[in-house]
Structure formats: structure tokens, C-alpha cells
Chain A
Amino acid sequence: MVRFSRISKRFVLQKSFTGKPLKYVHALNNVSFEAYRGQSTGIVGESGSGKSTLIRLFMGLYQPDSGFFSMDELISTYMQKADWNKLRRRAAMVFQDPWGSLNPRLRIQDILTEPLAIHGSALQIPKSEWANILYKTLDSVGLPQSCLTKYPHEFSGGQRQRIGIARALILKPSLILLDEPVSALDVSIQAQILNLLSDLRSEFNLTYLFIAHDLGVVRYLCDRIVVMYAGRVMEVSDSESLFENPRHPYTKTLLNAMPSIEKLGQIPEAEPEVEIVENQGGCPFVHRCSRVMEICHKTMPQASTLGTSTFYCHNPMPQI
């Protein structure tokens, strides 16, 4: 359904006096993976790994430097303005920060009707239907109708996030992009929102593209997981096999960093903080990898597919 194909994006860090770019950061480097209809695909990775850039690129905030993505029949390279609007009706986004993502000067009904005001005529939804759609959507995210006339500051974080989800659902999209939707919330509320997301998925037959850095959250919600590091995909795998049998050393490191009942009381040894360094030609993870070999410094490994897992590593973890 959604396909990213060899996408690269670099940002200019420093310009020379004449405006010639001097330094780049590769936010995305040759990223390829697919997300299937009806499935939830999680994208995990530490900050700076390019997860958010990928999603923002998908929504048309940036242009990829090379590569393309597609959703159904829409292919980014050939998309015109009308196609972008089509894409925006089919895909919606939920933001990380429920405090920043709702306009404080608008009432909830204005926030929620905005997508209808923009796309309503194209979707042939008459204005008389709007109220009905609002009520239904509010109902499905578990908010009372009375909240329509209130302002965002009258709600708690969890409720605000529900409003954000409602806004994403208004146009009945088939794909929802979730940019760390629970990481700004209390743990108890995280569970509520995750349950809600899981219910909504089956109710509306949604496809999720779920960004997170919390593996526990991803494990709960996602069928497939993409592990990213320094703008590159490290491993793409079924959720289960990734947790059972990670093939990439970086995935293993991520899993080890996860708190769990068995490790109760012990604090995992903190890795020294390493700046993500641009590694010309080689694997970006060489500086931190426990299984590093000489070849890792020189060439980026090709994709290897074994079973349900695709990974980019010269010296992968053994298959169990």
C-alpha cells in the first residue's frame, strides 16, 4: 500500500559565503521498505535517525533528494497538486505533542471541521452532514459531544490526544501516520490511547505507520517493524521475529536497552554517548557495533532477506 523506495534526503548544515552548501547531514539515506494494507508498521530508532523526516516527507513538507514513495496508485515523482490533495484525504497524521498540535484560539468544533472545510467539497460532503460526522467521530474516540464548544486548554493531555486522533479520522482516511502519539503522555494514559488506537484500527480498517522509540509500545501495536539508525534502515522484520530473533546488532542493542521485569533493579549499562557520524561508504553503526568487522568500515551492506526479516549487516546475529 505504501512504499518507500531508495529515498534520500539531506539537509544543508552550513553554507559558504556565496551560498554554496558546505556541510550536509543525511537525514535519510537510501531508505526502502513497504507498509501493507491493514497492518501496522512501526518505525523505531533513536532521535536523529530520520523517522520524523520520513513521515514529513510523505506528507509533502519536504521533497526527497532522490528516490520516491508511493501510496496506492500515487507516485511521489509524478504527483501534481490535485494528487497531493488526494493523498491528504487518504492519509492523516497524529502529532506527538498534544499541547502544541491544537490551535489554542479555536474551539474543538472548529479544529475538527477544518479538514472538512478544506476537503469537504472535493469529497462531496454537504455542510449539513458535518455535525453528524463530528458526533460519530467524537463517539469513536470516546469524547462527549459537549466538548465541541470548548477550547483546547480545557482538556487534559490524554483528551487532547483523542482530539488529535479525531481530527485525523474526520475524512475517513485509510492510512494514519502516528508520530510518537503516546510518548508525551502519562503511562496510564498511554495504555488508554494505545487501546483506542487498536480499537480504531479494527473498526475503520486502518493502516498505521507508527513512529516510536519505545519498543514496548511498538510491540503492542505493530505487525511489522522497521529499525532505523542514522537515516538508514537497519532491519525490517515481523514484530514477533524481531523480538525473538533480532538479526542486526543494532536491533539487539535496542532490545537490551528495553526495561523489563527480569532486569528489575538493575540499570542497563549506559553506552557512552556517540555522535552519529557520517560514515562515507560504510555502515553508520560501526562506531558502536559489538560485531564490527573490517568490511563494515568500507561498504554499506546490501539487504539480506532471511525468513520474514530483511537486514543490512555484514555480520548479523545468528538465526535461532
Chain B
Amino acid sequence: MRNFVRKVFKLYSNDKAAFSAIVIVLLFAFIAAAAPILASKLPWLVISNNSGIEMPTSPLLHAIIHPRKRIILERTDYRKLASEEKISAIFPPVPFSPYETNLDNFLDAPSFSRFGHPLGSDSLGRDVAARLMHGATNSMLVGLIAVGLAFIIGVLIGAMAGYFGGWTDLALSRFIEIVICFPTLILIMAVLALIKPSLVTIMVVIGLTGWTGIARVMRGEFLKRRGGDFVLAARLTGASHVRLILKHILPNSLAPLIVMAAFDIAGAVLLESSLSFLGIGVPAPEPSWGDILKNSQEYPDIAWWLVVFPGTCIFLVVVAFNFLGDWLRKALNPRERAAS
């Protein structure tokens, strides 16, 4: 096992594309996980307070520990107090909340002055950087959970079809083909017209429509392995179906699926952005990359920052996951591993 890890690592340190892909994925994962800390109007630390307003030493930490007090804490305008030098405080890198609207800041261009919008603001005066970071959380969550769901359904259906063969296979394969025939985007739009879109429904809907590819690969793997010698050997010893599937076939069929999952995450992120762009994604105040892009549609000639930054984020994540999938394909294939 250690040997395997070393070999995989060796391959990956030689592969520049894979290396950058992993760095980008880890970076976005970090931003997604840490967005509430990295982008907030609440300061990290209040060093001195001459304003006469009572406030905790770390308003952000306080709000995280006591979520109910967040609204009260956010009523205080710390940025104003800080610029009037009534308090001195350490702010997060992006000192804005993603929901904060301020029509005075209608389409502010990116500025690096203190408390300026580093990546500009949108038509409601919301900070683009903060929305991008919090949007990353949503995008990553949708990608991971939707693909996880698709993975579970696909593996179950594909494994059953491939393992049992015969009528089961015939019925399940036709079912898979029927699901493939639906145009995904339109199906999702129809479903979301019926049920209220929320982060959870988007994940579930993308997962429920995205499992067909995994099921087909799984079916093929099971068909191939089912007749293999070591499966036969276990069968001849009298192994049960459960044992054959879980111990002998599944562990040997997972490599191509892990690769597929990486590509599918990219697809899910893209799909979520498309849905938000069409206005049926994550509902309104929730930030999403697609939503920022939608906002840009009305002012493409004035606000370039509304196009470029979310577009770059989507592009980077999708490309990174694709490279990651490509690298996993190589790393998990012993023959290619041996060759390099």
C-alpha cells in the first residue's frame, strides 16, 4: 500500500497539469470551507473600542458560536466605526457579507482601497468577492453531494444489472436508456417548476438525473468481472452473492468510477451554475456563481467584473476537476503507472 502511494505520488509530481489541478481544487475547497470566516462584515478581532457601543472581542467568533445573535451583531456598522477610527479592529480579507445590499454602491468597480470592493459590486451593491466565496461553498456542496447521490444510485443499479444479467439486466438497461433520453436540463427545469428550488432540491435533482453514466460503466465492469477466474473461484467455493459482489467484484470495479466521479463533479458544478444563470438555481439571496453571471447579463458593457470573475471561477473548477479525473485515470491504472 505504501509502495502504491509512493508510485502514485511520483506520477503526480511529474505531471504539471495534475499538480496544478490538485492545487486549484484544494484552494477552492479551502475557500468553500472557510468562506464564513474569510468573507464577513464582522471583524475578526476588536483591538480597542472607543465608540461607546458594546461589542464582543471577536464579533465574528461570537456570531459563529451564537448564530441567533448574528442579526443583532450585524446591525453595528463596524466598517464605518473603523474608518472613523472609533474602533480599531482586524477585518477578514473580504470585509463584506454576501447578503449585504447597499444601493449607494451600485456596480462599483474593483478597488483596493480600504473597505472598497476588491472584485467590484453588483447591481444591488453586494460585494462580488464575498458572493464568489460563499458561492463556492454552494457549488462545491452541490457538486459533491449530487455526485455522491448519483454514485450510490448508479452503483446499485449498474451492479444489479451487470451481476444478475438476464431479465434484470434487460429491464434495468432499458430504464437507464429511458433516463438518458430525457434532456437533463429541461427535466430539471420541469421538476424545479413543481417543487420549490432550494440547495437541497438542486442537489437531489442533479443527483437523480446524473447517475446513468455511472450505472452503465458499473454494469460493464460487473459483466466483465462476473465471469473472471477469481470470481469463479469464489463462486465454486460456495460464496454468497453478497460476498461475491462486495468482496470480489466491487473493489475491483471502483477505479473507473472514481475517475468518472471527478468528471461528474465538474459537470454538476457547471449544471448548478447553468441553473442559477437561468434563474432556477439556488434561490435568490443565496450566492451562487451562476447567479452573479445572471446579474452581469443586464450590464455587460459597464460591469466586466461581473462576467470575468465568476466565469473564471467556474472555468478553473471545471478544468481542475477534469484534469484531476484524467490524472486519477492514469494513477489508478497499473499499466500506465508502470510506464511512467
Q: Which residues of A contact B (CB under 8 A)?
A: 59-61, 84-85, 88, 92-93, 95-97, 100-106, 114-115, 118-119, 153, 164, 167
B contact residues, range: 10 to 19
A93 touching B239 by the CB < 8 A rule?
Answer: no
| Complex contacts, B236 vs chain A, CB 8 Å | 59-61, 88, 92-93
Measured between beta carbons, the chain A residues less than 8 angstroms from B229 are 95-97, 100-101
- Give bound CA distance, A92 to B236, whole Å: 8
- How close is A72's CB to chain B, nearest CB, in angstroms? 18
B230 proximal to A (CB < 8 A): yes
Q: Shortest distance in angstroms between A125's beta carbon and chain B's nearest beta carbon?
A: 14
Residue B251 CB within 8 A of the other chain: yes
CB distance from A180 to the nearest CB of B (A): 12
Kindly supply a per-residue 1/0 record for chain B positions 227-259, scoring 1 wherever the CB is within 8 Å of any chain A CB and 0 otherwise.
011101111111110010001100110000000
Report the minimal beta-carbon distance from A162 to chain B, rounded to whole angstroms.
15
Q: Which of B235, B237, B252 has the most chain A CB within a 10 Å cutoff? A: B237
- The smallest C-beta distance from B166 to any residue of chain A, in angstroms, reads 12
Interface centre among A59, A93, A114, A119, by most chain B C-beta atoms within 10 angstroms, is A114
Q: A101-B232, A103-B234 are in contact. List 7 more A-B contacts (CB 8 A).
A: A61-B235, A101-B230, A104-B252, A105-B252, A114-B239, A118-B238, A119-B238
A85: which B residues are within 8 A, CB to CB? 238
The verdict on A115 contacting B237 (CB below 8 Å), with A103-B252, A106-B247 known, is: yes
Tell me, in angstroms, the Cα distance from A96 to B252 when the chains sit together.
21
Bound CA–CA A103/B237 (angstroms) = 14
Q: Which residues in A have their C-beta under 8 angstroms from that of B240?
A: 118
Q: Across the interface, do B233 and A93 meet the contact criterion of CB distance under 8 Å?
A: yes
A103: which B residues are within 8 A, CB to CB? 230, 234, 247-248, 251-252
- Seen from chain B, the residues whose Cβ lies within 8 Å of a Cβ on chain A are 228-230, 232-240, 243, 247-248, 251-252, 334
Complex CA–CA separation, A93 to B238 (angstroms): 12
Q: Say which residue of B230, B238, B247, B251 sits within 8 Å of A102 (CB atoms).
A: B230
| B137 to A: closest C-beta gap in Å | 35
Do residues A95 and B237 form an inter-chain contact, with CB atoms below 8 A? no
A60 contact set on B, CB distance < 8 A = 236
Across chains A and B, which 10 residue pairs bring their CB atoms closest together, nearest first?
Answer: A100-B229, A101-B229, A105-B251, A103-B230, A88-B238, A59-B236, A115-B237, A118-B238, A95-B229, A101-B233
Bound: A106/B229 CA distance, A: 14
Complex formed: what's the CA distance from A93 to B236 in Å?
8
Nearest-neighbour CB distance to chain B for A11, whole angstroms, equals 14
B252 touches A84 (CB 8 A): no
- Contact pick for A84, options B238, B239, B247, CB 8 Å: B238
Q: Tell me the complex Cα distance, A61–B251, Å.
A: 23
A173 → chain B, closest Cβ, in Å? Answer: 11
Known A105-B252, A106-B247, A118-B239: A100·B230 in contact at CB below 8 Å? yes
